[in-house]
């Protein structure tokens, strides 16, 4: 398959490239990675920004591991050695390679984009989904794609937590893990703080400090990601996906999903199935 500018996309031959686009600032593709595919230790010549649309993966850098899922955003600097493993039913991902002119601008404005990490609940998801929607729609609206990419990069430089999540104390890491396992039960901030043995105000402040959002915002994100994962199975109705993810009904899911990401669950499903 050729990109819209007529050049051949450079990609692993085991992946299926569904669509591509390129400018002198970046190149973009939406690709399917088959289940079980592994990429051994390697690096890239250009920094890469990734949005997982469907599926789960495991990425390792040195002794560090990340297990991103649907709607997680990844950043990889150029030259960093890493491995990739694509799980379960495979992965669909939006992948953006940043070219030298854009990298130079980013480096002048923020060094935070130039380190490896995976982010959940990032404000960059909305513009990146918009870019993927345009790209897979087949319309040659390059200007809109460019704007969406620039908006996503801008979102990655604001509203940062004052400390890295990797620096969070063990008690807070375990508490967040408990939240991830029980958010659908409506667990409250006061319960989490009590279990951690700290005051709720202190807990809320520390959670924001290390994770960059409130407990409620994080729980809402977990719910949205659960819905996105369910939508990847075409056999699951929107109503059932809403119920399983903990929403009152399909309308509640649609309002929340569209309000956060700018597209409806039905349209998102068309991007990933």
What is the average pLDDT value for the chain, to the nearest integer?
87
> Any idea which architecture 16-155 has in CATH?
Sandwich (2.60)
**243 vs 9, higher pLDDT:** 243
pLDDT at 24 over 80: yes
- Tell me the per-residue pLDDT of 205-240, one tens digit each, with 9 for 90 and over: 899 888 888 888 899 999 999 999 999 999 999 999
For the chain, give every domain's residue range: 16-155, 165-272
Which pTM value belongs to this model? 0.84
CATH, domain 165-272, list 2.102.10.10, 1.10.10.60, 3.40.50.150, 3.40.50.720: 1.10.10.60
Average of pLDDT values for 134-154? 85
- Tell me the per-residue pLDDT of 98-120, one tens digit each, with 9 for 90 and over: 998 888 877 766 666 678 999 99
Average of pLDDT values for 237-255? 94
Cα 129 versus chain centre, distance: 10
Average of pLDDT values for 126-147? 87
**115 vs 13, higher pLDDT:** 115
């Amino acid at each position: 398959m050729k990109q819209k500018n007529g050049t051949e996309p450079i990609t692993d031959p085991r992946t299926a490239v569904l669509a591509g686009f390129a400018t002198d600032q970046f190149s973009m593709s939406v690709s399917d990675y088959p289940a079980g595919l592994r990429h051994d230790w390697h690096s890239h010549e250009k920094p890469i920004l990734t949005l997982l649309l469907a599926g789960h993966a495991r990425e390792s850098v040195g002794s560090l591991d990340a297990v991103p899922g649907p709607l997680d955003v990844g950043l990889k600097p150029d030259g960093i050695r890493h491995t990739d493993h694509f799980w379960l039913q495979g992965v669909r991902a939006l992948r953006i390679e940043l070219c030298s002119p854009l990298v130079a601008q980013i480096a002048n404005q923020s060094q935070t984009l130039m380190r490896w990490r995976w982010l959940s609940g990032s404000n960059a998801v909305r513009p990146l989904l918009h870019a993927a929607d345009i790209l897979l729609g087949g319309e040659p609206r390059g200007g809109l794609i460019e704007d969406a990419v620039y908006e996503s990069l801008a979102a990655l430089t604001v509203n940062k937590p004052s400390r890295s999540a990797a620096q969070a104390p063990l008690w807070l890491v375990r508490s967040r893990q408990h939240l991830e396992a029980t958010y659908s039960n409506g667990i409250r901030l006061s319960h989490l703080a009590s279990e951690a043995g700290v005051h709720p105000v202190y807990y809320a402040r520390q959670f924001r400090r290390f994770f960059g959002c409130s407990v409620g915002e994080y729980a809402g994100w977990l719910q949205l990601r659960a819905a996105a994962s369910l939508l990847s199975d075409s056999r699951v109705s929107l109503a059932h996906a809403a119920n399983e993810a903990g929403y009152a009904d399909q309308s509640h899911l649609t309002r929340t999903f569209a309000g956060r990401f700018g597209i409806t669950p039905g349209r998102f499903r068309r991007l990933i199935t």
